[in-house]
Amino acid sequence: MTTTDLFGYLSYALIIIGLWLIGKQHRWGWFIKGIGDFGWVCVGYQVGLSSIWLPEVAFVVMDGYYFYKWRNLGAETPKESTDESGES
């Protein structure tokens, strides 16, 4: 197993962890996934396959955008419902 293989597996692990955190509504999942996607940009460039690194560049840009725009829904408390009289 080469260093490139290990780096690729580590990048996949970061992508999976990031997706899991996104599913749990944690903003930092986008950051971790972005690191994993950037790892695949490096792997694709090293092996010389634009079919790997070019889409990953788009994913890194999207990860950065969603990290910037994300509101951590897990930290927000839902508003209490009120009845017709306005009392909770």
Does residue 82 lie within any of the structural domains? no
pLDDT of 69 reads 85
Collect all residues with Cβ–Cβ distance below 8 Å to 77 and sequence separation of at least 6: none
Is there a domain that residue 63 lies in? Answer: yes
Q: Is residue 62 part of a domain?
A: yes
Using one digit for the tens of pLDDT, what is the confidence trace for 62-72? 999 888 887 65
Range of the domain at 61: 11-48+57-69
Axis crossing angle, helix 28-47 with helix 50-69, rounded to the nearest 10: 160
Q: What is the DSSP letter of 35?
A: H
pLDDT at 27: 87
The tally of domains found in the chain comes to 1
Q: Give a yes or no: residue 30 inside a domain.
A: yes
Is the whole model's pTM more than 0.85, yes or no? no
Instruction: Note the pLDDT of residue 70.
Output: 78
- Does 39 fall in a domain? yes
What residues of the chain score a pLDDT lower than 70? 71-88
> Would residue 81 count as lying in a domain?
no
Confirm whether 5 is domain-assigned: no
Q: What is the model's pLDDT at position 77?
A: 42
In a domain, 36, yes or no: yes
What pLDDT sits at residue 78?
42
